[in-house]
A and B are shown apart, each in its own frame.
Chain A
């Protein structure tokens, strides 16, 4: 695989056709796909929020534990939704199903196809995050307006994690390597990004956490839900957006070099 590729030239209409393909396929099985990913955070929410929360009381920055963890779980769910699309799913489509070999014979170029997949990953993250935001609204943990304040954050989180998955997929040759991606990247991040406890309290973890993408997404979700909006919000938003743009650019370039040999 050459790392030097040709310049990218995107066509949004072409990308949307590939996005539509995923919507078309997803529509048929959406319930089977959505349910497991819906239950998982609900289990965390109940298990940790109510179960563990009973022992913690009101000690999490002056609120009960259920309230404390709810917003972070929304963005984490978005992360999981989009990650799956651009990791396992994308790898299988590239290497096993050879989906794009067919698609690029049409006016859709490979960069359009990848943009379409990234948009789809973002969409799927939006569905997961959005549905979960609605769930915590039903639990009475956020207000109706706050659902809509969370959505732009869910959008950018989904986009960024779609891009991270895409660039990882672009560089690996073996599907087994995703185990490392999940156990050494996603899982630690899940626990040390401030969803379950303020990471600032552990000196070195706090330092590292600042560099991880989920930290910024969780921070944002808590800022809007707990009403502490200030100028920092822009910094975190920019981190998610720019991170997503840069990584997807280089990831798509790499995949194009693989196809346009």
Chain B
């Protein structure tokens, strides 16, 4: 049996009357990259905070490295975790080096070990040139990389990344993805939250779709797509008055199709035939063909998109 990094049973988090996480259960095997995908407010961050031992459970059980997250185990669990927070909680008026040095101290690491580790980590995230630069002079992407380096100071078995690339430009995002792949190759367990389906598809072995505090689907990204939808998606920009007839023609009125205001998306195994016929019947309208992705699955399961205007 594969060893589990996380076991959650009936995990629930309430704030007063609001249920942020509603009775979810999941297991995360060691060495995998697991992603919580969902819109803002889905309960991803609350789940991560419970795993990180900074938020008590309202109900259910949660084991991290086979230890319950009860108060008595919190310090020993956190000793083995690395956390990359969503916001940058760095000390802005001291240097990158000093930030890592102080953070390493919180883990009780020896100053001499910290010194060696800092050099290695700043190399790893390509910030060696900024070693003695104050954090306030770094760009957003650099700060995020510094946060990743900081989360690795204790050589953690598991790394929690809360929206690691939100707000970054594409170049910075790809650099962070590369680093995450390298970490995965070194057998770290990675858990991330994201609302970018591309990020989830690229990095995650396993995914949990979250919406409204619930896990609505869980599995490998490819399996999730295959189980729920046909392989090809065709996006048609067509007036709503013409839609019923079109749907009837292509016999999708009974199957799942997505009506997104301007766009109508229909799913098919044989996109070639459908495209030929569409161009024939509706010449002049805009039609795009692409592969079905996680966004489509999410749309089918929840009736809304992962992100507005996604």
Chain A interface (Cβ < 8 Å from any Cβ of B): 6-7, 9, 11, 13-14, 17-18, 20-21, 24-25, 28, 97-99, 101-109, 259-261
Provide the residues of chain A in CB contact with B89, threshold 8 Å: 97-99, 101-102
Interface-centre pick from B55, B83, B85, B108 (highest chain A CB count, 10 A)? B108
Asked if B75 and A101 sit within 8 Å, CB to CB, the answer is no
Asked if A106 and B71 sit within 8 Å, CB to CB, the answer is no
Closest CB of chain B to A95's CB: distance in Å?
13
State whether A105 and B54 are in contact (beta carbons under 8 Å apart), knowing that A9-B71, A13-B108, A17-B106 are contacts in the complex.
Answer: yes
Chain B interface (Cβ < 8 Å from any Cβ of A): 15, 52, 54-56, 71-72, 74-76, 78-79, 81, 83, 85, 87, 89-91, 94, 98, 102-103, 105-108, 154
CA A259 – CA B71 in complex, angstroms? 14
CA A109 – CA B102 in complex, angstroms? 16
Closest CB of chain A to B125's CB: distance in Å?
17
CA A9 – CA B72 in complex, angstroms? 8
Given A14-B108, A109-B75, 15 new contacts (CB under 8 A): A17-B105, A17-B106, A20-B105, A97-B89, A98-B87, A99-B91, A101-B87, A102-B89, A103-B106, A105-B54, A105-B81, A107-B106, A107-B108, A260-B54, A261-B15
Asked if A7 and B71 sit within 8 Å, CB to CB, the answer is yes
CA A104 – CA B71 in complex, angstroms? 13
Asked if B56 and A106 sit within 8 Å, CB to CB, the answer is no
Asked if B85 and A105 sit within 8 Å, CB to CB, the answer is yes
Closest CB of chain B to A257's CB: distance in Å?
10
Provide the residues of chain A in CB contact with B52, threshold 8 Å: 105
CA A99 – CA B85 in complex, angstroms? 12
Provide the residues of chain A in CB contact with B108, threshold 8 Å: 13-14, 17, 107
CA A6 – CA B70 in complex, angstroms? 11
Closest CB of chain B to A149's CB: distance in Å?
35
CA A25 – CA B94 in complex, angstroms? 8
Picked from A6, A13, A28, A101, the residue with its CB within 8 Å of the CB of B71 is A6
Asked if B87 and A106 sit within 8 Å, CB to CB, the answer is no
Provide the residues of chain A in CB contact with B83, threshold 8 Å: 105
State whether A106 and B103 are in contact (beta carbons under 8 Å apart), knowing that A13-B108, A101-B89 are contacts in the complex.
Answer: yes
Closest CB of chain B to A112's CB: distance in Å?
9
Asked if B105 and A107 sit within 8 Å, CB to CB, the answer is no
Closest CB of chain A to B288's CB: distance in Å?
43
Asked if A260 and B105 sit within 8 Å, CB to CB, the answer is no
Closest CB of chain A to B269's CB: distance in Å?
46
Closest CB of chain A to B113's CB: distance in Å?
15
Asked if A104 and B56 sit within 8 Å, CB to CB, the answer is no
Asked if B54 and A21 sit within 8 Å, CB to CB, the answer is no
Provide the residues of chain B in CB contact with A105, threshold 8 Å: 52, 54, 78, 81, 83, 85
Provide the residues of chain A in CB contact with B74, threshold 8 Å: 107, 109
